[in-house]
Amino acid sequence: MGKNILKKSSKYILEKVRDRDMYPRPIAFTFKGKEEFRTLFGGLISMAIQVVIVLYAYIMLKIMIERNDTSKSVNTIVSDILNDKSPVSLNTTDFSFAFDAFILDDDNFDFNNNEYFEIELLQWIKQPDTGELSSTNIPYERCGTSLFQYYNQTEVQKLGIQEYLCPLSRNYIVQGNSLSTDFIYLEFNIVKCTEACPADLEDKISRLRVEIPFVNTYFDFDDYTSPVKTYIDGRLVVDMLPGYVKRDDVFIQKNEAEIQDSYFAYQPGGSKKEFVEIHRVDSRLAVQIDDVDNTIYKLLFVKDAETKSYERQVFSLLEVTGNIGGLFEILERTGGFLVALFSGRMFLFSILTKLYHVEDPEDQPKGENNSKIKVQEDLNDGSSHVSKNSIENLIKPNEVLANKAHKAMKRRMRYHWKVSDFVYNFFSPITWLLCGCWMKKNRLNAHTRMKLYEKGEAKFLNEFDAVYYARCMRNLNTLVGSLMDDSERFMITYQKTNCISADGETESGYSDDNYDGVPKMFAKAKKRQHQVKVDDFMERYKKETWTSKDYRLLNGILSHEQLTNKQLSELQDDRDSTKLYQEYECVETENITNLSNMHPQEESKMPRATTPLQFNLNSINARSPNRFNKNSSILEDDEY
């Protein structure tokens, strides 16, 4: 008891867990053994899209590897220099400078030891409390090979900078401007003598030249190894003028670079580099007032209010996949729209080819109407025998029935279509609109295969109805239970069609080769072979003994042939249909109909005819599974 409860509880819990599955597998019908219907046109479009995507991917990968589409940008940012709280320490940068002055045409002049001029190198700091400026002298000496810091000392020697003067210390900073609370800057001055000056002082000043080379920095967008580069900037070459004061303000920018050079970057950002750059130099000229200041040249190194932000991002794999995905989505939607215009009709054309037959209009007999075949047996209560004349009269109707069925079977062909039919069906509304001939439209529909398509489409949609399908399956199960005993139902479970063998071949009936043997339209050679096969079959079939099932099957084939009740014998029996079949069996000379070969279960189930019983064979088994049944065809008549 407890074990059963536990088993049921476990089963219930597992079922609830299974219902929570977010990844269910959809269940659907298949067509030709495949879950999706694919067209040649769709395949060509897909192949074209795939070729375009492959070529585009190759181009994108080549651009990525060669870095031909690198994103580059330079942004200038202006900061509030009055409230600047971030000084620039030049000792942590590549910035370095040297200075020298000489008299033109006088190689013996020593600027470091002369009686004309004096050099001043100062660090000025503004006191935040008082606002007063205080200075600190920065010592200097010959640069040599170490004081002027540059990566290429060979170039330094080539330019002769090792003979220039360089500050001994690089521990200096710049911050703010003259209006800022925190103002720090460097100052380089050349001051002329004030007392006991030589008589040729003015001549010396007129031939005095000052050179101040410095190491500047720039960002190279094309260098992916070391993008921040330095060079010797020699723009500061100044010639003095007697009676004037020259001033140069060198603005030092604190720049930063944000670079993303990885192919596999998944988000913005990357390595950041900070460096200083001298972007602009402001030059001024003023009349010298000896009573105020004897400085003839003044150079200030100050912080620039502008900063630059360099950004570089290579064409990464993420962007490559994004571009490929975007192009693929556009092409996929475009191709899907084009294929959708045709795939629906092509699916119906293909499925009608697998389901239905048509009658060849070239072999259609003329002068016959499409009345229903009715084979009627009047069993009048009270008659106790069947006359010999009634049996003999059955010969002609049987031959007529077999011959007409023979002709109908030879006319049968599988529905097929041409590209012209599809094009006409697709563009027919435009054709009708341009033509404007509505009567002509009706004539075209009546004399082309498109009417067969329209009727077949309506027939398929009706038969594919869910209610109709469920009802047919229910009726089929009912018939299996009614017509088969327990042993037959048990044996049908073990039929070979229910078995999948690893050594044998799986039987399938969905290919064109083993569909049902009926040739397609337009296949004249196969049509002749099919007619020969039908002739052989009907010759054998006419010699066999017919039962009521044969009449039903033939009647299903001849639903559109003319066969009146006068052409059929009226079979009467005053007792029951079983006695009628037994008397038919006595007529051995003709051997036309042998209804006594019925299954014993069918005999036992046939009712005693106490009232007149009438067989309308056209209404029995209207949906026979036989391949030549009337419901497997699309006929020109509106009734199907």
Of the two residues 405 and 44, the one the predictor is more confident about is 44
594 has pLDDT over 50: no
Q: What are phi and psi of 632, to 5 degrees?
A: -95, 10
Q: Please tell me what DSSP assigns to residue 147.
A: S
Pick left, alpha or beta for residue 176 (phi over 0 → left; psi -120 to 50 → alpha; otherwise beta).
Answer: left
User: Residue 637 pLDDT > 80, yes or no?
Assistant: no
In this prediction, residue 501 has a pLDDT band, given cuts at 50, 70 and 90, of low
| Terminal CA-CA length for the chain | 60
Q: How far apart are alpha carbons 164 and 232 in whole angstroms?
A: 14
Q: Which two tokens stand for residue 404?
A: 């007409």
The enclosing H or E element of 553 equals helix 548-557
The one-letter amino acid code at 97 reads F
Cα torsion 537, 541, 542, 548: sign: negative
Mean of per-residue pLDDT scores for the chain? 74
Residue 417: Cβ-neighbour burial (10 angstroms; 0-12, 13-18, 19+): buried
The model's confidence at residue 608, banded by pLDDT at 50, 70 and 90, is very low
CA neighbor of 301 nearest in space, from 511, 88, 68:
88
Enclosing H/E stretch for 562: none
What angle separates helix 317-355 from helix 450-463, to the nearest 10 degrees? 100
pLDDT at residue 108 tops 90: no
Handedness of CA 320, 326, 329, 331 (dihedral sign): negative
Q: How many CB atoms lie within 10 A of CB 133?
A: 14
- Higher-scoring residue by pLDDT: 285, 599: 285
State the pLDDT at residue 424: 67
Helix, strand and coil percent figures for the chain, each rounded to 5: 40, 20, 40
Q: How confident is the model at residue 429 (pLDDT cuts 50, 70, 90)?
A: low
Per-residue pLDDT at 498: 63
Condensed to tens digits (0 to 9), the pLDDT of residues 312-327 reads: 988 888 889 999 999 9
Q: What is the predicted pLDDT for the residue at 593?
A: 35
Using 50, 70 and 90 to split pLDDT, how confident is the model at 448? Answer: low
- pLDDT of res. 299: 94
Burial pattern 187-207, b for ≥16 Cβ within 10 A else e, equals: bbbbebeeeeeeeeeeebbeb
Distance CA 328, CA 53 (A): 7
pLDDT band at residue 383 under the 50/70/90 scheme: very low
* pLDDT attached to residue 550: 75
Of residues 440 and 531, more confidently modeled: 531
The closest alpha carbon to 562, from 465, 637, 477, belongs to 637
Q: Could you tell me the CA-to-CA distances from 21 to 12, 17, 209, 333 in Å, in that order?
A: 15, 7, 87, 30
pLDDT of residue 364: 54
> Is 16 or 379 the better-scoring residue by pLDDT?
16
The neighbouring-strand residues paired with 562 are none
pTM for this entry: 0.59
546 pLDDT band, cuts 50/70/90, is: confident
Q: Indicate the pLDDT class of residue 409, thresholds 50, 70 and 90.
A: confident
- Indicate whether 555 pLDDT > 50: yes
The C-alpha torsion from 501 through 507 and 508 to 509, rounded to 10°, is -160
Element (H, E) at 23: none
**Cα distance between residue 9 and residue 246, in whole Å:** 100
Residue 340 has pLDDT above 50, yes or no: yes
Looking at residue 595, its pLDDT comes to 35
pLDDT, greater one: 150 or 561: 150
What DSSP string runs through 477-503? HHHHHHH--HHHHHHHTT-GGG---SS
Q: Three-state SS for 175?
A: strand
- Give the range among 97-101, 172-176, 614-618 with minimum mean pLDDT: 614-618
With residue 142 as reference, give the H or E element that holds it. Answer: strand 140-142
100-103 and 184-192 beta bridge pairing: unpaired
Choose between 270 and 188: higher pLDDT.
188
3-state secondary structure of 378: strand
Judged against a pLDDT cut of 90, whether residue 251 lies above it is answered with: yes
CA atoms within 13 A on the CB side of 327: 15
Neighbours of 255 (CB within 10 A): 24
Please count the CA atoms within 13 angstroms of the CA of 143 that sit on its side-chain side: 24
Q: How far apart are CA 361 and CA 583, in angstroms?
A: 42
| Residue 363 pLDDT grade (very low, low, confident, very high; cuts 50, 70, 90) | low
Radius of gyration of the CA atoms of the chain, in A: 53
N residues, the chain? 640
CA–CA–CA angle 169, 171, 177 (5° rounding): 125
Q: Looking at per-residue confidence, does 437 or 65 come out higher? A: 65
Is residue 337 exposed (0-12), middle (13-18) or buried (19+ Cβ within 10 Å)?
exposed
Whether the pLDDT of residue 393 is over 50: the answer is no
With tokens 């769709």, the residue in question is 42
Q: Is the dihedral of CA 572, 577, 579, 581 positive or negative?
A: positive
Q: State the Cα–Cα distance between residues 98 and 108, nearest whole angstrom.
A: 20
To which residue do tokens 């059963």 refer?
A: 4
Tokens 């008082």 belong to which residue?
Answer: 130
- Give the residue-averaged pLDDT of 352-375: 58
The 10s digit of each residue's pLDDT in 296-311 is 999 999 999 889 999 9
Sorted by where each begins, the domain ranges of the chain are 75-314, 360-413+519-640
β-pairing, 237-239 with 228-233? unpaired
Residue 103 has pLDDT above 50, yes or no: yes
Residues pairing with 520 in the sheet: 414
**More confident: 498 or 72:** 72
Q: What is the pLDDT of residues 206-235, one digit of tens each?
A: 999 999 999 999 999 988 888 999 999 999
Residue 515: what are its φ and ψ, rounded to 5°?
-65, -70
Name the more confident of 358 and 77: 77
